[in-house]
Amino acid sequence: MKLIILDRDGVINFDSDQFIKSPQEWLPIPGSLEAIARLNQAGYRVVVASNQSGVGRGLFDMSTLNAIHAKMHKLVAQAGGRIDAVFFCPHAADSKCNCRKPKPGLFQEIAARVHRDLRGVPAIGDSLRDLQAALAVGARPMLVKTGKGVRTLAGGQMPEGIPVFENLSEAVQAILAEPA
Protein backbone atom coordinates (compact mmCIF):
# COMPACT_ATOMS: atom_id res chain seq x y z
CA MET A 1 0.00 0.00 0.00
CA LYS A 2 1.32 3.40 -0.99
CA LEU A 3 0.74 5.97 1.73
CA ILE A 4 1.35 9.70 2.09
CA ILE A 5 0.87 11.93 5.14
CA LEU A 6 -0.10 15.57 4.73
CA ASP A 7 -0.31 18.39 7.23
CA ARG A 8 -3.57 20.34 6.81
CA ASP A 9 -3.21 24.08 7.46
CA GLY A 10 -0.61 25.62 5.18
CA VAL A 11 -0.35 22.52 2.96
CA ILE A 12 -3.88 21.73 1.78
CA ASN A 13 -5.56 24.98 2.81
CA PHE A 14 -4.45 28.52 3.56
CA ASP A 15 -3.25 28.93 7.13
CA SER A 16 -4.01 31.71 9.60
CA ASP A 17 -2.12 32.85 12.68
CA GLN A 18 -5.61 33.33 14.17
CA PHE A 19 -6.46 29.66 13.46
CA ILE A 20 -8.98 28.22 11.02
CA LYS A 21 -12.06 28.42 13.25
CA SER A 22 -14.95 27.77 10.85
CA PRO A 23 -15.73 26.02 7.58
CA GLN A 24 -15.96 29.47 5.95
CA GLU A 25 -12.31 30.16 6.88
CA TRP A 26 -11.13 26.85 5.39
CA LEU A 27 -10.00 27.77 1.86
CA PRO A 28 -7.98 25.38 -0.30
CA ILE A 29 -4.62 26.45 -1.70
CA PRO A 30 -4.95 26.49 -5.50
CA GLY A 31 -3.94 23.12 -6.94
CA SER A 32 -3.90 21.26 -3.62
CA LEU A 33 -7.18 19.40 -4.07
CA GLU A 34 -6.21 18.31 -7.58
CA ALA A 35 -2.82 17.17 -6.23
CA ILE A 36 -4.59 14.90 -3.75
CA ALA A 37 -6.71 13.49 -6.60
CA ARG A 38 -3.52 12.77 -8.59
CA LEU A 39 -2.09 10.90 -5.59
CA ASN A 40 -5.26 8.80 -5.35
CA GLN A 41 -5.17 8.06 -9.08
CA ALA A 42 -1.57 6.84 -8.63
CA GLY A 43 -2.70 4.44 -5.88
CA TYR A 44 -1.80 6.46 -2.79
CA ARG A 45 -3.83 6.45 0.40
CA VAL A 46 -3.83 10.02 1.70
CA VAL A 47 -3.99 10.74 5.42
CA VAL A 48 -3.84 14.05 7.24
CA ALA A 49 -1.92 14.65 10.49
CA SER A 50 -2.73 18.03 12.00
CA ASN A 51 -2.26 19.91 15.26
CA GLN A 52 -5.61 21.52 16.11
CA SER A 53 -4.88 23.30 19.38
CA GLY A 54 -7.79 25.67 18.71
CA VAL A 55 -9.99 22.94 20.24
CA GLY A 56 -7.91 22.82 23.42
CA ARG A 57 -7.79 26.61 23.58
CA GLY A 58 -11.59 26.83 23.32
CA LEU A 59 -11.51 28.76 20.02
CA PHE A 60 -13.82 26.18 18.41
CA ASP A 61 -15.43 22.90 19.43
CA MET A 62 -15.33 19.39 18.00
CA SER A 63 -18.53 19.87 15.99
CA THR A 64 -16.94 22.87 14.26
CA LEU A 65 -13.75 20.90 13.59
CA ASN A 66 -15.89 18.09 12.15
CA ALA A 67 -17.70 20.62 9.92
CA ILE A 68 -14.34 21.99 8.70
CA HIS A 69 -13.20 18.47 7.86
CA ALA A 70 -16.52 17.68 6.17
CA LYS A 71 -15.97 20.69 3.89
CA MET A 72 -12.42 19.54 3.16
CA HIS A 73 -13.60 15.99 2.30
CA LYS A 74 -16.39 17.34 0.09
CA LEU A 75 -14.13 19.69 -1.87
CA VAL A 76 -11.45 17.01 -2.31
CA ALA A 77 -14.14 14.63 -3.60
CA GLN A 78 -15.40 17.28 -6.03
CA ALA A 79 -11.83 17.48 -7.38
CA GLY A 80 -11.85 13.69 -7.91
CA GLY A 81 -9.85 12.76 -4.81
CA ARG A 82 -10.21 11.25 -1.37
CA ILE A 83 -8.63 11.70 2.04
CA ASP A 84 -8.71 8.32 3.75
CA ALA A 85 -8.38 9.56 7.33
CA VAL A 86 -7.72 12.67 9.40
CA PHE A 87 -5.62 12.37 12.56
CA PHE A 88 -5.43 15.43 14.79
CA CYS A 89 -4.15 16.58 18.15
CA PRO A 90 -6.82 18.69 19.92
CA HIS A 91 -4.56 19.68 22.82
CA ALA A 92 -3.25 23.15 23.60
CA ALA A 93 0.44 23.85 22.99
CA ASP A 94 1.31 23.65 26.71
CA SER A 95 -0.17 20.16 27.18
CA LYS A 96 2.05 17.19 27.90
CA CYS A 97 0.44 14.94 25.26
CA ASN A 98 2.43 12.76 22.88
CA CYS A 99 0.24 13.57 19.87
CA ARG A 100 1.15 17.23 19.33
CA LYS A 101 3.75 17.57 16.60
CA PRO A 102 6.80 17.66 16.81
CA LYS A 103 6.17 14.64 19.05
CA PRO A 104 5.55 11.48 17.02
CA GLY A 105 2.21 10.38 18.53
CA LEU A 106 0.00 11.23 15.53
CA PHE A 107 2.38 9.42 13.20
CA GLN A 108 2.51 6.40 15.55
CA GLU A 109 -1.29 6.32 15.60
CA ILE A 110 -1.35 6.38 11.79
CA ALA A 111 1.14 3.49 11.67
CA ALA A 112 -0.97 1.46 14.11
CA ARG A 113 -4.25 2.16 12.28
CA VAL A 114 -2.97 1.32 8.81
CA HIS A 115 -0.74 -1.52 10.06
CA ARG A 116 2.32 -0.13 8.35
CA ASP A 117 5.83 0.96 9.20
CA LEU A 118 6.21 4.61 8.20
CA ARG A 119 9.86 4.40 7.15
CA GLY A 120 10.21 6.13 3.81
CA VAL A 121 6.57 7.30 3.69
CA PRO A 122 6.38 10.84 2.25
CA ALA A 123 5.19 13.36 4.84
CA ILE A 124 4.53 16.88 3.56
CA GLY A 125 4.39 19.82 5.94
CA ASP A 126 5.01 23.54 6.17
CA SER A 127 6.62 23.77 9.61
CA LEU A 128 9.68 22.50 11.43
CA ARG A 129 7.48 20.50 13.80
CA ASP A 130 5.90 18.65 10.85
CA LEU A 131 9.37 17.67 9.65
CA GLN A 132 10.54 16.66 13.13
CA ALA A 133 7.51 14.41 13.72
CA ALA A 134 8.09 12.70 10.37
CA LEU A 135 11.80 12.20 11.08
CA ALA A 136 11.03 10.71 14.51
CA VAL A 137 9.25 7.74 12.88
CA GLY A 138 11.55 7.38 9.88
CA ALA A 139 9.11 8.93 7.41
CA ARG A 140 10.43 11.04 4.51
CA PRO A 141 9.70 14.70 5.31
CA MET A 142 9.18 17.29 2.60
CA LEU A 143 8.62 21.02 3.08
CA VAL A 144 6.28 23.25 1.09
CA LYS A 145 6.74 27.02 1.02
CA THR A 146 3.03 27.67 1.46
CA GLY A 147 1.67 28.37 4.94
CA LYS A 148 4.59 28.70 7.35
CA GLY A 149 7.04 27.15 4.88
CA VAL A 150 8.98 30.31 3.95
CA ARG A 151 9.22 31.24 7.64
CA THR A 152 10.42 27.70 8.41
CA LEU A 153 13.16 28.01 5.78
CA ALA A 154 14.23 31.39 7.12
CA GLY A 155 14.39 30.04 10.69
CA GLY A 156 17.68 28.29 9.98
CA GLN A 157 16.83 25.08 11.85
CA MET A 158 15.93 22.94 8.83
CA PRO A 159 17.32 19.43 9.02
CA GLU A 160 19.72 18.71 6.17
CA GLY A 161 18.52 16.99 3.05
CA ILE A 162 14.85 17.92 3.28
CA PRO A 163 13.46 18.64 -0.19
CA VAL A 164 11.61 21.95 -0.53
CA PHE A 165 8.75 22.63 -2.94
CA GLU A 166 6.68 25.70 -3.82
CA ASN A 167 3.40 23.97 -2.91
CA LEU A 168 1.65 20.62 -2.55
CA SER A 169 1.08 20.32 -6.28
CA GLU A 170 4.82 20.61 -6.99
CA ALA A 171 5.68 18.11 -4.23
CA VAL A 172 3.16 15.60 -5.59
CA GLN A 173 4.56 16.06 -9.09
CA ALA A 174 8.02 15.14 -7.77
CA ILE A 175 6.72 12.11 -5.85
CA LEU A 176 4.82 10.80 -8.85
CA ALA A 177 7.90 11.24 -11.07
CA GLU A 178 9.97 8.94 -8.83
CA PRO A 179 10.76 5.47 -10.16
CA ALA A 180 8.42 2.84 -8.78
pLDDT digits (tens, 9 = 90+) for 91-114: 998 899 999 999 999 999 999 999
pLDDT at 180: 73
pLDDT digits (tens, 9 = 90+) for 141-153: 999 999 999 999 9
**Cis, peptide link before residue 104, omega less than 30° from 0:** no
- Cβ neighbours of residue 178 closer than 8 Å, sequence gap 6 or more: none
pLDDT at 93: 87
84 assigned to active site: no
94 assigned to active site: no
pLDDT at 116: 96
CB-based contacts of 153-159 (< 8 A; 24+ apart in sequence) = 155/128, 157/128, 158/128, 158/131, 159/131, 159/132, 159/135
CA distances from 96 to 3, 58, 99, 137 (A): 28, 17, 9, 19
Mapped to the 3 state alphabet, what secondary structure does 32-66 carry? HHHHHHHHHHCCEEEEEEEECHHHHCCCCCHHHHH
Question: Of 9, 15, 126, 130, which one is the catalytic site residue?
Answer: 9
pLDDT at 110: 98
pLDDT at 99: 97
pLDDT digits (tens, 9 = 90+) for 2-61: 999 999 999 999 999 999 999 999 999 999 999 999 999 999 999 999 999 999 999 999
Question: Of 7, 15, 126, 130, which one is the catalytic site residue?
Answer: 7
pLDDT at 117: 97
Q: Is CATH 3.40.50.1000 what the domain over 2-177 is classified as, yes or no?
A: yes
Q: In which band, very low, low, confident or very high, does the pLDDT at 130 lie, cut at 50, 70 and 90?
A: very high
Assessment of whether the complete model's pTM goes beyond 0.95? yes
Give phi and psi for 139, each to the nearest 5. Answer: -70, 175
Identify which of 156, 108, 134, 130 has the alpha carbon closest to the alpha carbon of residue 10. 130
Judge contact between 84 and 91, C-beta under 8 A. no
Domain ranges of the chain: 2-177
With both helix axes pointing from N to C terminus, report the angle between 168-177 and 32-41 in degrees, rounded to the nearest 10. 20
